[in-house]
Amino acid sequence: MSDVYRLAKPRKKGLISLVFSRFFVIVVLLLVQILIVISFYSWLKDMMPYFSAITVAFTIGGVIYLFNCDMDSSAKLTWMFVISLLPITGAALLVFTQTNLGHRTIQRRVAELTEQTAHAIPQSPEVLEKLADDPAATDDLVTFMNRSGCFPVFENTEVTYFPLGEDKFEAMLEELRKAEKYIFMEYFIIDEGYMWGSILQILEEKAKAGVDVRVMYDGMLEISTLPPDYCQLLQEHGIQAKAFAPIRPIVSSHYNYRDHRKILVIDGKVAFNGGVNLADEYINRRERFGHWKDTAVMLKGDAARSFALMFLQMWNITEREPRFDPWIEDTHYVPEHPSGFVIPFGDCPLDEDKVGRAVYMDILNRARSYVHIMTPYLILDGELETAITYAAQRGVDVKLILPGIPDKKLAYALAKSHYRRLVHAGVKIYEYTPGFVHAKVFVSDDVKAVVGTINLDYRSLYHHFECGTYIYKSDCIPDIEQDFQNTLSRCRQVTPKTIKNETLYYKITGNLIKFIAPLM
Per-domain residue ranges of the chain: 355-519
Alpha carbon of residue 154 to chain centroid: 23
Dump pLDDT digits (tens) for 133-162: 888 888 899 999 988 899 999 999 999 999
Q: Distance between terminal CA atoms of the chain?
A: 43
pLDDT of the residue at 50: 58
Dump pLDDT digits (tens) for 361-399: 999 999 999 999 999 999 998 899 999 999 999 999 999
Q: Buried (b) or exposed (e) across 408-421, using 16+ Cβ within 10 A? A: eeebbbbbbbbbee
pLDDT of the residue at 1: 42
Contact 445, 368 (CB under 8 A): yes
DSSP run (H or E) holding 357: helix 355-366
Rounded Cα distance, 383 and 387, in Å: 6
Alpha carbon of residue 256 to chain centroid: 13
pLDDT of the residue at 66: 77
DSSP run (H or E) holding 64: helix 48-68
Rounded Cα distance, 258 and 355, in Å: 16
Dump pLDDT digits (tens) for 213-258: 999 999 888 778 888 889 999 999 999 999 998 876 555 555 578 9
DSSP run (H or E) holding 498: helix 496-500
Q: What is the largest CA-CA distance in the chain?
A: 77
Dump pLDDT digits (tens) for 181-211: 999 999 999 999 999 999 999 999 999 999 9
| Integer CA distances (angstroms), 380 to 65, 122, 312, 387, 494, in order | 23, 35, 31, 10, 18
Answer left, alpha or beta for residue 205, where phi above 0 means left and psi between -120 and 50 means alpha.
Answer: alpha
Intervals of the chain under pLDDT 70? 1-30, 32-34, 36-38, 40-52, 54, 88, 99-103, 248-255, 519-520
Regarding the domain with residue range 355-519, which homologous superfamily does it belong to in the CATH classification? Answer: Endonuclease Chain A (3.30.870.10)
Rounded Cα distance, 442 and 350, in Å: 25
Backbone angles phi, psi at 346, to 5 degrees: -120, 165
For residue 294, give the amino acid letter.
D
Rounded Cα distance, 261 and 218, in Å: 9
Using DSSP, state whether 493 is helix, strand or coil. strand
Say which residues have a Cβ less than 8 Å from residue 241's Cβ, sequence separation at least 6: 214, 215, 216, 217, 230, 231, 234, 235
Kindly state the DSSP code that residue 327 receives in the 8-state scheme. Answer: T
Using DSSP, state whether 46 is helix, strand or coil. helix
| Integer CA distances (angstroms), 331 to 32, 273, 377, in order | 53, 20, 38
DSSP run (H or E) holding 119: none
